[in-house]
Amino acid sequence: MSGTDNHPNKQASAKAPSKTVLNLGNLPPKMKASELKTAAASYPRTPSRVNPNQPPWPAYRGYHEYSFAHATMGVRLPTILGKAIDDVWKTLNQETEEERIVDLINCIHRLEDLMGDLQGNSKLRPIVDDGAGDIALWNKEIAKFFRGKDFMNAPWLFAEAYKYRRLRECFSLSKYWVDYDVFFRQKCDTFSRSNQAVFELSQRFSQPHDLLASLGPEEKKEKLKLVFHELTQVCLWGNSTDLSLLIDMTEEDIRKLQSTGGDHLAATEKNILGNDLRALADYVTDIKGGRIDFVLDNAGFELYCDLVYADWLIQSGICSEVIFHGKKIPWFVSDVTKFDWNWLLNSCVYGQLFPDASDAEIDSLRTLGNRWKQYEKEGKWKYEAHPFWCTGYTFWDLHSEAPDLFQHLSDSDLVIFKGDLNHRKLTYDCHAPMDTKFPMAIGPLASEAGAPPVCSLRTIKSDVVVGIPSGVGEKLDEEEPGWKISGKYAVVLLSPGRPGEAPQFA
């Protein structure tokens, strides 16, 4: 049993326990490094011992002071919740109907109770049955694996997801505010503040220029690969909170986006620590009229980058269908819901978000927006929101807990998971060694019959790191503390899966 994985934590606040000095004279001596290695060899746990409270490698938990879990559970989540309460007051102050006001005040009381539970580090109670389809999934998982656990000693991933489901409960129990999204205002802002990058992309991609028409088959293939290679990086860095990579582009950089210059590729790629881009480009550019799925991350600017990318996949003939998987409820602040999806597409066509934009810029954005709405009408683009994406389960449990979704994904030529949270869920958010091969780190989603090819496009913003060459992470640990949460580094990882085989369910 690992010292970091289990903790009889009984502290009454969301703060880490203070240090206590114990007399350890009668206990066995500390293990030597060589002996510790033997203990580490008991991981990964054998599949029958893996469960949501016991990931394959030790879980990150809120009381681990060295991890981002600690800062998130102790500081980030209460701050996010405080801002959510401010947002609701803002709405309340603009409301005129008494019944709706009183109903919203009850939502605020429930939000305050949640804040009390979070800051008082309460035990995780079942979700109140609000009639939603995910209740059984949530309460079964709490009863089976987290009875008696609290916000700080449950695995970070579960405790954090649970907080967002409790946030939903504050509104789903109301009469008038069931669909209220406390994060909607912020999500809209991220798009309207990214004007420069938005127009750089819209002006380049609004007219589907036939770059390839004059080329022979071999040259065409090479060019396709190079454009794919670079556009994938635009989609990847769209996930970074630091959007400078795109915003700082000069005219020269923009031209380079479609150039074949090897130096340029090398320069933009140096921060991608685990890099399967070439294998991905080889695989994707061989697809013709296929289907690619995106498991989306953030609304606003990141979603816009995803749509530009998906548009190119259609225009190039690689895909005839793209399926976007979003969230059913407001989730982890900025994740895409159907409201955010509709808002973005309509804003591109009808919005006045960019007062300083030129007519040409506005036209290019409108052209994109109209084309994207047309894809939706024709069924080339589909937005779906399976309830499984908003549970506390990681994607190791997708095959067993959402077999319908596994079956659906198994028909895809490629499933692209965007962002840090999806990467945590793919890899069980645990202490896997950094050089663990990606297919091994994602378990059943790589190894089950019918598993689709899976790609993770993730800028690194939290503790779990896999799929990078040995020694690279260790060197960064020494030289650049904080590298795992800076968003400066990234991974592009590919698992081939077992496509073409019929999925098997017990």
- Under the rule (CB under 6 A), what is the footprint of ligand F1X? 72, 160, 239, 297-298, 332, 419-421, 424, 461-462
**DSSP sequence for 161-209:** HHHHHHHHHHHHTSSS-TT--TTHHHHHHHHHTTHHHHHHHHHHHSS--
Cα→Cα distances 466→43, 431, 441, 448, 496, Å:
15, 9, 7, 20, 16
Burial of 213 by CB count in 10 Å (0-12 exposed, 13-18 middle, 19+ buried)? exposed
Measured torsion, CA atoms of residues 263, 264, 268, 271, in degrees rounded to the nearest 10: 0
Give me the least distance between CB of 249 and ligand F1X, in Å please: 22
- 162 close to 154: Cβ distance less than 8 angstroms: yes
Among 205, 170, 196, 173, which residue's Cα sits nearest to residue 248?
196
When the beta carbons of 237 and 438 are compared against ligand F1X, the nearer one is 237
Give me the least distance between CB of 27 and ligand F1X, in Å please: 36
Give me the least distance between CB of 193 and ligand F1X, in Å please: 16
When the beta carbons of 163 and 225 are compared against ligand F1X, the nearer one is 163
When the beta carbons of 77 and 405 are compared against ligand F1X, the nearer one is 77
Give me the least distance between CB of 311 and ligand F1X, in Å please: 22
Give me the least distance between CB of 333 and ligand F1X, in Å please: 7
Among 319, 300, 301, which residue's Cα sits nearest to residue 310?
319
For residue 106, give the H/E element and its range.
Answer: helix 98-119
When the beta carbons of 160 and 413 are compared against ligand F1X, the nearer one is 160
Three-class secondary structure of residue 274 per DSSP: strand
When the beta carbons of 74 and 503 are compared against ligand F1X, the nearer one is 74
When the beta carbons of 228 and 332 are compared against ligand F1X, the nearer one is 332
Give me the least distance between CB of 504 and ligand F1X, in Å please: 31
Give me the least distance between CB of 298 and ligand F1X, in Å please: 5
When the beta carbons of 332 and 341 are compared against ligand F1X, the nearer one is 332
When the beta carbons of 436 and 459 are compared against ligand F1X, the nearer one is 459
Give me the least distance between CB of 297 and ligand F1X, in Å please: 5
Side by side, the strands of the sheet bearing 381-384 are 272-275, 490-495, 454-459, 414-418, 290-295, 319-325, 381-384
Cα→Cα distances 88→77, 102, 116, 181, 497, Å:
17, 12, 17, 9, 44
- 287 close to 416: Cβ distance less than 8 angstroms: no
Residue that has been written with the tokens 């602040």 in this structure: 333
Give me the least distance between CB of 364 and ligand F1X, in Å please: 27
3-state secondary structure string, 377-421?
A: HHCCEEEECCHHHHCCCCHHHHHHHCHHHHHHHCCCCEEEEEHHH
Give me the least distance between CB of 420 and ligand F1X, in Å please: 3
Instruction: For residue 363, give both structure tokens.
Output: 């036209």
Instruction: For residue 6, give both structure tokens.
Output: 């289990």
Which one-letter amino acid corresponds to residue 88?
V
Question: Cβ contacts of residue 152 below 8 Å, gap of 6+?
Answer: 9, 11, 14, 16, 61, 62, 63, 73, 121, 159
Give me the least distance between CB of 472 and ligand F1X, in Å please: 20
When the beta carbons of 410 and 462 are compared against ligand F1X, the nearer one is 462
Question: Cβ contacts of residue 247 below 8 Å, gap of 6+?
Answer: 194, 196, 197
When the beta carbons of 191 and 199 are compared against ligand F1X, the nearer one is 191
